[in-house]
Amino acid sequence: MTGQQIGVLIGVIAGGSWALAGSASLRGAPRVLAMIVSLVGSILLAVATARLPSNGEAGRFDGAIYGIAVTAEAIAIVVAVPVLRRLGRGDWLVPVIAMIVGLHFLGLWRATGDAVFVGLAAGLCAIGIMGVRVPASWRMLVVGFGCALVLWAAAAATILSS
Nearest in space to 46 (alpha carbons), one of 82, 86, 76, 17 = 17
Mean pLDDT split into 10-residue runs, the chain, 162 residues: 88 96 96 96 93 74 94 98 97 98 96 94 98 96 97 94 84
DSSP 57: P
How distant, in Å, are the alpha carbons of 56, 68, 75 from that of 100?
A: 32, 14, 10
**Would you state the pLDDT for residue 65?**
96
Are 2 and 135 in contact, with CB atoms under 8 Å apart? no
Cα gap 28→103, rounded to integer Å: 34
Identify the pLDDT of residue 57.
61
Q: What is the DSSP string of 97-125?
A: HHHHHHHHHHHHHHHH--THHHHHHHHHH
pTM of the model: 0.92
